[in-house]
Amino acid sequence: MSESDKKRHWNAITTILVTFIACSELSLKICRQCCHCNLVSDLLEYVVKYQKDYHKDKSLSTLTAKSLIILHNCSKAAENKQVYRQLGASEKIAPFLKSKNDDMAATSLFTLSYIIERSKQHLLKAENRVLIYILGIFDACLDDYSQERKGFSTSEIVVGLGNIAINDENKLSLVNNGLVPRLLRMMKRDSPVEQECAINTFTTLTKLKSTRNLIVDKYDAVQILSKHTDSDVEAVRHAAERAMAPIKNTPPRSAAQRKVSTSTSVSSASLNCNYRQLCLRFKKSLDLSDAYFAAEYDMCYCNSCHIERGDELYYSRGLPPKDYGLPIGWCRFAIQVPARVAPLNVFHKWHVAFHGTRPDAVRPILECGDLLMPGDLEMEGRKLAERDGHFNEKSKPVGFDTKQIFLSPSIRYSGSNAYAYPSKFKDDIAKKVYWSKVAFQVWIKPESYNIGPQTIGAKYEIDPRFNNQELEWFTKRRGCIVVSGLLVNLQETY
């Protein structure tokens, strides 16, 4: 091949890669398709093939760098995580953490933070210079509200830092390099999403006793966090309460004590739960038969109970695994599951999701034993219609089918007013009036549903773990859903 032909060849490849970078940055649907059409597999082969020689040749370096960017963009799609794991992506990308090209190393580190399995956290160990480089990008984002830096938004960076910090060595390096004051600065910004992301990353840093001690010794984080415990935004308020738990009773150490460092995990004192009792009284007000429920599996997810158990915020279930968020702020009353869950191996193979509804729809759903969709007739003959605030037959995008069952891996979405319609509940014992919401926790069969963007008109990021482009799951299939829990959320009216 002549030099001119080589140049045209590399220019064509570069143009294709740049196009894929732009498309994968804009659409998670395209990111999912990149996995289905084996593009991710091909790119992984490229980066492995040129891993030892890319730095010797400008064209190979460009090809490798752009391949890593596409792999990073596609790793953000939750559905792709299992594909990356099956392809052994972690081991193939990890060597680039030592790249002398800081952009390559940072991109690879963020990619690993999305796809890494807990058993392979050691692969996340980053070189100190790379962490300092990322903190520099973080600084630039904090200084400029209007722009992304190096293709990363402020929230994306701080969530990525939280993921990177699951590696204990990274925790210590990040604290020593000044991540905490940057997080405290971000907590003071006006964006609830950014506040929550910063607080959650702060909480991850405090899960190691040595870093928790360093933070308490050096920073007055309690003062800033305590302000957020009064936030009007429930997610921010809960995040601040979780962050306060491990540090508020940790006194600053003497100079002698600071010479000793251990890595004991955080444990919280036992907390009494009045919220569960309140939710139980609400459940009783619905006049539902106890035969529907399996009380031994009830679980309260109020913030106090969540802190006491030391749960994570997100877990994965099913084959292939899919992430879902714990329903923080809700109380779950377990529902008797049908006998078919055993032969179908539901608890091992199916995914977890949520479905918001109205309090007056709980009984018909339990009587039917399945979720219903708009257009269905309940046992008593009432026809279901679309919720206010959601697409309907008179107002919807061309081709959108409203006659489906809508779910989400995030209770923040399924529990929004568009799905979990609020109603007032007066508690005679507390002598207070509450806004009540209900939803169902369900198991749903893999590949029985489609994934799409949020359809409630939200102008903000609903859940920091899930992009708004993949927040709604929907299906028309019958028998692919098992209802496993009634969720109750109560908030005092003022």
Please state, in angstroms and rounded to a whole number, the distance separating the CA atoms of residues 462 and 102: 31
Report yes or no: 387 and 419 within 8 Å, Cβ to Cβ.
Answer: yes
For residues 452 and 200, what is the distance between their CA atoms, to the nearest angstrom?
26
Residue 407's CB is within 10 A of a number of other CB atoms, namely: 26
State both tokens at 369.
């034993």
Q: Which residue is it, tokens 């520099």?
A: 136
Radius of gyration of the chain (CA): 24
For residue 277, the Cα-to-chain-centroid distance in whole angstroms is 28
CATH architecture of 125-267: Alpha Horseshoe (1.25)
Residue 256: predicted pLDDT:
46
DSSP three-state, residue 210: helix
Which amino acid, 289? S
pLDDT of residue 268: 34
Phi and psi, residue 299, nearest 5°: -150, 125
- Long-range contacts at 363-372 (CB < 8 A, ≥ 24 apart): 363/286, 363/287, 363/288, 365/440, 365/483, 366/288, 366/292, 366/335, 366/483, 369/338, 369/483, 370/478, 370/479, 370/481, 370/483, 371/405, 371/440, 371/442, 371/481, 371/483, 372/405
Closest to 324 in 3D by CA, of 487, 183, 458, 435 = 487
CB atoms within 10 A of CB 4: 8
- Architecture of the 274-492 domain: Alpha-Beta Complex (3.90)
The rounded average pLDDT for each run of 10 residues, N- to C-terminus, in the chain (494 residues) is 68 85 88 87 91 85 92 88 91 94 94 88 93 93 68 84 94 95 94 94 93 88 91 93 84 49 32 85 96 95 89 90 94 96 96 95 90 68 60 58 88 94 94 96 96 88 90 92 97 86
Q: Which residues pair with 482 in a beta bridge?
A: 443
The reported pLDDT for the residue numbered 262 is 34
CA 438/CA 436 separation, integer angstroms: 7
pLDDT recorded at residue 390: 56
